[in-house]
A and B are shown apart, each in its own frame.
Chain A
Amino acid sequence: MKKGKQLSVSAIRNGTVIDHIPSGNLFKVILILGLDRIDNQITFGTNLESDRLGSKAIIKIADRFFEEEDINRIALVAPEAKLNIIRDYDVVEKHVVTVPKSIKAIAKCFNPKCITNHENVLTRFSVTNSSPVALKCHYCEKITDEEHLTII
């Protein structure tokens, strides 16, 4: 099986590999990192077998390196994600994501009566729990949990 996994997504020369993304959240990760709006070569595989997650996704982005702050934004939907920085086909750095203490303008407040759903207000949350994710709205003070989490 290991071999199969290696083959499902081809190697990149330089860039970033994001591994251990829950399959169901692959497209959320793509949205959060804005990968749908860049010109770099991107390959991804999903529904790959994973001991830890059951089913995982992997993204390889050529010639692109992320700031830690940017990458931590995906922690909401992929708290176990691992990043490999690739230079000349070698892994030169490894990173894990950390759930930030507060997040801005990524998630939507699930409360329909919240001001952020009525007026043009950037959402702000404090992270009250990282796994499973629980976000406390800075405005209405209600908790948005993983089940109700929507990425803007």
Chain B
Amino acid sequence: MKKRSLVSIDDLSTDEIIKILDMAKKFEKEPTQNLLNGKVVSTLFFEPSTRTRLSFESAVSRLGGKIIGFTDASSSSVTKGETLNDTIRTVNSYCDIIVMRHPIEGSARYASEVADVPVINAGDGANQHPTQTLLDLYSIRKTQGTLDNLSVAMVGDLKYGRTVHSLMMAMARWNTTFHFISPEELGMPPEYKLYLDNLDLTYYEHTDLNEVSGKADIIYMTRVQKERFSDPMEYEKVKNAYVLRRSMLGSCRENMRILHPLPRVNEIHYDVDSDPRAYYFEQALNGVYTRQGILCFLLGASN
């Protein structure tokens, strides 16, 4: 079998995405399957990301695989002054697949070229985080029954948020209508809007969260961070404008679900948690099934 890595969501065809989502669905029904018995998975976390790491480790454990690796480069002797090239070449011979998170952009693509085994990108700086995108797609498909012709509202920091950029590019494959809601300073960058223009997809830009509530099948919330503003006063002005509260859900569709990549700070008020449309904790759990699907897809195991 030819080695396949997952560095960017664009590495997958639409059929392959659906195949992974279908595998994830089977894992949701039957999470414990011994498909990776005898396989060794390296989890190389050059920067800490507890959630992503635990999600992967849970996925590997449920598949009967073994995990080796490190959780933080500062505590690992293997990376003291060593190049990524050397670390990957060394680890490569110990395992069947590498899961890597690294603060440097493009590090995952490079690692996938150096390694003989498949590499899964668990986040390379501000660049890509394809397993997050796949679990978002899984959550959308599961809650809406389809990925076709949906209306997706993305809220918060749309300028720097890699999660929303990847999800937007991926959802563009299924004729999605987008609503972008953000402070003006943190709007969707022109190159992404151009991408949608070229595909003839419809999108709307808003600054008021209330305007879109009734129009969306999915509301995807992200954090608006103070550091992103050139003028701190601007942040003070908008900081409460992009907080979702239960009182705003009155006009929302029944099928609408609220997603968030977590961790949240204050952008979703706690009073939303008990609404049946709050979906972010289930979304996180879906990450385990999706990562089971990804691991098996890349290792050629089928459930």
Which A residues lie at the B interface, using CB under 8 A?
109, 111, 113-116, 118-121, 137-143
Contact partner of A119 (CB less than 8 A), chosen from B8, B110, B126, is B110
Please tell me which stretch of B101-109, B262-270, B292-300 contacts chain A, meaning at least 4 of its Cβ atoms lie within 8 angstroms of it.
B101-109
The reply to whether A115 and B191 contact each other, CB–CB distance below 8 Å, is no
What are the residues of chain A within 8 A of B191 when measuring CB–CB?
Answer: 143
Contacts of A120 in B (CB 8 A): 83, 85
Task: Flag if A115 contacts B105 (CB, 8 Å).
Answer: yes
What are 7 A-to-B residue pairs whose CB atoms are below 8 Å?
A111-B105, A113-B104, A113-B125, A114-B105, A115-B104, A115-B106, A141-B127
For B128, the closest partner residue in chain A by CB is A141
Closest B-chain residue to A111, C-beta based? B105
Instruction: Identify the closest chain A residue to B111 (Cβ).
Output: A115
Q: How large is the interface on B (under 10, 10 to 19, 20 to 34, 35 or more residues)?
A: 10 to 19
- Shortest Cβ gap from B241 to chain A (Å): 30
Q: A120-B85, A138-B109 are known contacts; what are 18 more A-B pairs with Cβ within 8 Å?
A: A111-B105, A113-B125, A113-B126, A115-B84, A115-B104, A115-B106, A115-B107, A115-B109, A119-B85, A137-B106, A139-B106, A139-B109, A139-B110, A140-B105, A141-B8, A141-B105, A142-B127, A143-B191
A141-B106 Cα distance, complex, nearest whole Å: 7
Residue ID in chain B nearest A139 by CB atoms: B106
- B residues 177-199 with Cβ under 8 Å of A? 191
Which of B92-127 touch A at CB < 8 Å? 103-107, 109-110, 124-127
B84 touches A119 (CB 8 A): yes
